[in-house]
A = this chain, B = another copy of it.
Amino acid sequence: MTTILGIDPGSRKTGFGVIRTEGSAAVYVTSGIIRLPVDQPLGPRLGVLFSSLNSIIDEFRPEELAIEEVFLARNPDSALKLGHARGTAMAACVHRGMDVYEYAARQIKLAVVGTGAATKEQVQHMVKILLKLPAAPKEDAADGLAAALCHLHSNQSLQHIPATARSRGRSR
């Protein structure tokens, strides 16, 4: 049994989802959104993200982190802000001994929907179907769950992981 945390970090909120494997099935554990106190300075804002992830790790004990890779950041200012959140999130997980795996957005959509050009709504819908949820999770939480599902699928069928993802993603 492996427990996987998937996250979709952002400077205002970070979506997360935890799934675990039971045999060959993916089982939903939890998901949600960490909202950062945007009225506070950067230090405490990142502190909230770090400690929230620490609490999630304490409660659900994921061994692996799946996170979307950023290829084309939009502009320097938003890239810096996204970097702050991504760095904090990855440090929180690595600090707790988790392995970090990065996947391109295209890879995640392909794994969950079957096409790398899937819309946000299609991702939400397929996450609901794949995890047998009563309703589609919110967008950010769905993106976290989708990253986790992508990682799980890659694990289950190792021959489908490109060599770059295998070597690059592994933390230790």
Contacts and interface: CB of A to CB of B under 8 A. Distances in A.
Interface of A: 41-44, 46-47, 49-51, 65, 70, 72-88, 90-95, 99-100, 102, 167-172
A94 B170 contact: no
A172 B83 CA distance: 23
A113 to B, nearest CB: 26
A46 B87 contact: yes
A49 B79 contact: no
Residue among A43, A44, A70, A87 facing the most chain B CB atoms (10 A cut-off): A87
Given A41-B102, A102-B41, A79 B83 contact: yes
A84 B169 CA distance: 16
Nearest to A43: B100
A64 to B, nearest CB: 10
A87 B168 CA distance: 21
A51 B100 CA distance: 16
Contact of A83 (B65, B81, B99): B81
Contacts of A83: 79-87
A43 B171 contact: yes
A21 to B, nearest CB: 21
Nearest to A87: B87
